[in-house]
Amino acid sequence: MTTQLNPIQQKFIDEFAADPDIQQLVKGIEARPDTTRNHYGDYGAALSSISGGRKAVAQLLGLAFVKAGANTQGVADALNTLL
């Protein structure tokens, strides 16, 4: 999940990753038993809901989730499945 980000995108990611609601969402997902590999189903549902189905927003949110402690492979799998 490496990509070149502009300063606005990086700020978006940093702010979302630091948001207490996003951090709690990620902690909650990681604390659940795996129902899909690396929680990709849970991350997919969250990314789809929060992004409103917008691909670019979901990708940035995925990076924010990882920065907030999400399983990198789970987020990557969710993005690959959804997008």
pLDDT digits (tens, 9 = 90+) for 12-68: 999 999 999 999 999 999 999 989 999 999 999 999 999 998 999 999 999 999 999
Band (pLDDT 50/70/90 cuts) for residue 3 is low
First to last CA, the chain: 14
In this structure, is residue 73 part of a structural domain?
Answer: yes
Is it the case that residue 1 has pLDDT exceeding 60? Answer: no
Whole-structure pTM value: 0.91
Band (pLDDT 50/70/90 cuts) for residue 2 is low
Dihedral angle computed from the Cα positions of residues 16, 22, 26 and 28, in that order, rounded to the nearest 10 degrees: 170
In this structure, is residue 1 part of a structural domain?
Answer: no
List the domain range (segments joined by +) for residue 77.
7-82
- Total tally of structural domains belonging to the chain: 1
